[in-house]
Amino acid sequence: MKSKKIVQYFLLASIAFGTRFLFLGRQSVGLDEGFSYWVAVHSLSRIVNILHYDAHPPLFYTFLHFWEMGGNSAAYLRIPFALFGVVNILILYFMGEEFLGSGMGYFTGGIWALAFYALKYESWCRMYAPAETFSLAATWFFWKAFKQPSLKSWGKYFIFAVLSIYTHYYTAFILLAHWIFLLFNKRWREASWGLICIAVAYLPWFPVFFFQIGHKVSQAFPAVSTITPFTVLADLFWTTHIFQSRPWFFILGSLDLLAWFIGFVFWVKNEKEKALLFFLLFSVPFLFPLTITKVTPLHIFSDRYAIVFLPYFVFPILKGFSKLTFAVWLPFLTCFLVINLFVSSLYLTSPVYQRQNFRLAAQKLRNSLKPGTIILVEQIGSLFPLAYYLPGELKIKWKEGRYVDPVDPEKSNLTWYGVSGDRSLPLVKEVIRDSRRICLVMCQYQVTDPKARIYAYLTNHDHQTLSYRIRDLNPESDIYVFFFKRLNLR
């Protein structure tokens, strides 16, 4: 039995390293990754100043500040976060063995290792993978401390709890679930001291946090009406996208929820404490942010943030499957593997299967632009990854409370504007009315081949294009268009 576990662990570790590190630098640095790098290259004091107007705590950016001193290639920047992804898979293996029984750890870790949703976000140079690692470790040590209380066990929990909320605010909902679990079990002392200790440890960052809240700093995510439980739940197993609304999302999300409920019922009958813990770990970070987003100006819910709590959604489902015959849940497993392996293989092997390719856009810009060109970028956030690839031509400046479109006469004779959607049409008209040299940069692919169409359908990357009537506004403009499959200008 011991040798069998060693083989399982070795195979799972191999899959974890393969999925997280294979072609790690193949994909272009993305929009959020470009922003992360831009923040990290500043001094620590300036990073704190910038974060006053961002929606994140400091640990990720502080770490990246020191890490990027050793190199700045896309693969190098992503290495530590891919490692965190590997650790997440291994933690889920041990949690599966602990909570579901011997032999089930391979399934909990395996599903997370092969899920395209997890693969994508855990290989980004962003805070999602470490936030997940710290919150999973906090949950692991929380359970150990709950079953066998000691100062040492609670101390381990405290360390990872603090690390998690210094990495991402969203992990606070996981800690809230832990606290509610203690109250349900009438562990008043641990609940009180845990809350006090974590609050004291967070005191140094509280002024910035309250500044962010007071200035309504949050991510510009869609309104809550576009985010339904069904699309979120379907996202993990079927690689669907949270911002899309289609009937089969409802169907798949409903099936996932039904499987979760069946497993939860099996769990409640025999192990009520475990069932309660995983119910809270899924429902609290899922429903509380949705409610906050609905009743306040803060939009704090995102599909990428769901990486913090979706691992806990897997456990009740596998608990239910463990009570059924293999033939019953074989169709589910087959569909999961076919869809996720297909999408992941395309994503890993070709940069075409990513929504934006700033690397290629920067290359074409560098090789083709003439002095004096005015450059319109599809959105202001796209300036950050372009600045990563074009450090000599594009330098984004920071002024108190805002980013500014870069103009650096000493290094560049180009003018950059970030535009987005119909709201930018007046700006576009003003900029190009009297200009003779315009560059419209579209960093997206318009997919046309059959495989890409399937990929776009599964991931909701439909790649709609801007359609500014540029030639009608200034027929004499020298228009440079960099769009890698097709551009609709009408």
Read off the pLDDT of residues 131-151 as tens digits, 9 standing for 90 and up. 999 999 999 999 999 999 999
- Categorize the per-residue pLDDT at 201 as very low, low, confident or very high, splitting at 50, 70 and 90: very high
- pLDDT average, residue stretch 400-429: 53
**Span 465-482, pLDDT tens digits:** 333 333 333 333 333 333
pLDDT tens string 86-95 = 999 999 999 9
pLDDT score at 191: 93
Between residues 382 and 447, the one the model is more confident about: 382
Average pLDDT over residues 218-230: 41
- Across the range 398-402, mean pLDDT stands at 61
Supply the DSSP string of 389-417, one letter for each residue: H-TTT---EEETTEEE----TTT---EEE
pLDDT(210) > 70: yes
Long-range CB contacts (within 8 A, 24+) of 209-217: 209/57, 209/169, 211/52, 212/51, 212/52, 212/53, 212/54, 212/55, 213/298, 215/52, 215/53, 216/297, 216/298, 217/52, 217/53, 217/54, 217/55
State yes or no: pLDDT of 113 exceeds 50: yes
For the chain, what is the mean pLDDT? 75
Nearest to 29 by CA among 306, 461, 382, 347: 382
Higher-confidence position of 145 and 343: 145
Q: Rounded to an integer, what distance in angstroms lies between the CA atom of residue 407 and that of residue 149?
A: 59
> How far apart are alpha carbons 304 and 300 in whole angstroms?
11
Give the separation between CA 263 and CA 273, rounded to whole angstroms.
14
Other C-beta atoms closer than 10 Å to the C-beta of 217 total 17
HSE-CB of 395 using CA atoms within 13 angstroms: 12
291, two tokens: 């409610």
Answer whether 380's CB lies under 8 Å from 35's CB: no
Identify which of 151-155, 381-385, 454-458 has the greatest average pLDDT: 151-155
Per-residue pLDDT for 76 more than 90? yes
Pairing of strands 374-377, 415-418: parallel
Residues paired with residue 438 on neighbouring β-strands, in sequence order: 374, 479
More confident site: 131 or 489? 131
Q: Which has the closest alpha carbon to 380: 456, 461, 441, 458?
A: 441
* Close Cβ partners of 228 (under 8 Å, ≥ 6 residues apart): 245, 249, 250, 253
pLDDT in the model for residue 477? 37
Separation between Cα atoms, residue 173 and residue 132, nearest integer Å: 12
> Tokens representing 327?
């033939």
pLDDT at 419: 56
Q: Say which amino acid occupies 22.
A: L
1 compared with 281, residue with greater pLDDT: 281
Band (pLDDT 50/70/90 cuts) for residue 154 is: very high
Query: Residue 331's pLDDT is what?
Result: 79
pLDDT of res. 448:
42
- Confidence band of 420 (pLDDT split at 50, 70, 90): low
What is the rounded distance in angstroms from the CA atom of residue 37 to the CA atom of residue 81? 14
Residue-level pLDDT at 301? 67
- Within a 10 A sphere around the Cβ of 222, how many other Cβ atoms? 13
Q: Which residue has the higher pLDDT, 410 or 184?
A: 184
- Work out the pLDDT band at 199, boundaries 50, 70, 90: very high
pLDDT of residue 438: 53
Residue 192 reports pLDDT greater than 80: yes
The answer to whether the beta carbons of residues 70 and 227 sit under 8 Å apart is: no
Closest by CA to 65, choosing from 84, 45, 41, 38, is: 41
Burial readout 32-62 (b: 16 or more C-beta within 10 A, e: otherwise): bbbbbbbbbbeeeeebeebbeebbbbbbbbb
Where do the domains of the chain lie, and which CATH numbers do they carry? 2-349 (no CATH), 353-482 (3.40.50)
How high is the pLDDT of residue 410?
Answer: 41
Q: In the block, which residue shows the tokens 């003439």?
A: 370
Amino acid residing at 245: S
Q: Return the higher-pLDDT residue of 27 and 246.
A: 27
Structure confidence at residue 105 (pLDDT): 87
